[in-house]
Structure 1
Amino acid sequence: MTIDDPDARAEVEAAFAAYERALVANDVAALDRFFLPSESVIRYGATENLYGYEAIKSFRAARSPHGLARKLEKTRVVAYGRDCAIAATLFRRDNAPGKIGRQMQTWIRFPEGWRIVAAHVSLIEEPAS
């Protein structure tokens, strides 16, 4: 298996960037398209545990569009073979001083394109320098 195939990594980096644009713009329809439409998909959020595509869609539809802007740090995408990749990033929001967010996504290539099959978002106190 090739680790960090440059073509697969570039494809997921582009998908991750598009996901980020949709997230901060609260483009719910676009966000829904990034997740595999399956009951096997899981998203652990900062305050919620979502099992299945329909639960994720319902969360997105009900979420407030305010305060979604954020700054990313240390974003990293690593491909495992041609059809699997992990994206990880840290993020900060002006409305959450003293906190740092962490986000990880597992992306799998399907015939219709790259889709998120598992995601985790959490907030922690800013670590001491």
Structure 2
Amino acid sequence: MQLDDAQTIVALTHCSDQYEHALAENRVEALDALFWQGPQTVRYGVGENLYGAEEIAAFRRNRTGGSPARTVLRRTITPIGTHAGVVSLEFRRIGSTRTGRQMQTWINTPDGWKILAAHVSIMAEQPETERPTL
């Protein structure tokens, strides 16, 4: 298995850029099109767990104002051969000091690259190793 296929890195970089632009502009239809349209698709958000493309689409349509504006701090793209890959990024929401994280598993389908699984979280104020024990 090859974890650094150059063509896959280029394709996933383009897809990740498309996702970030659509997210920033709250283009719901474009975001929907980037997700695999099946019941297997999963998105764990900061405050919700969504199963299937229909739940994910409904969430986006019901979220007032779209996603909070953010700045990407770091992005890592890891191809898994030429048919799958993971895009991991750190971000900071505008006006916040906390770091957010997003991981997306992309699959290469006959209709192009699609997100099969996504996870978004905001880091705790301090690492678990620095918290007092209970």
TM-score if structure 2 supplies the norm length? 0.90
Percent identity over paired residues? 39
Question: 2:123 is paired with a residue of what secondary structure?
Answer: strand
Match of residue 107 from structure 1 = 106
For residues 77 and 104 of structure 1, what CA distance do their matches in structure 2 show?
A: 10
Match of residue 50 from structure 2 = 50
- In the TM superposition, structure 1's runs of 4+ consecutive aligned residues that sit over 6 Å from their partners are none
Distance 1:67 1:8, change over 3 A: closer
Structure 1 gap ranges (5+): none
For residues 31 and 50 of structure 1, what CA distance do their matches in structure 2 show?
A: 15
Question: 1:7 is paired with a residue of what secondary structure?
Answer: helix
- Quick check: which has more Rg, 1 or 2? 2
TM-score if structure 1 supplies the norm length? 0.93
State the one-letter code of the partner of 1:36.
W
Is the contact made by 2:23 and 2:66 (CA closer than 8 Å) also made in structure 1? Answer: no
Match of residue 70 from structure 2 = 70
Question: 2:99 is paired with a residue of what secondary structure?
Answer: strand
Structure 2 gap ranges (5+): 128-134
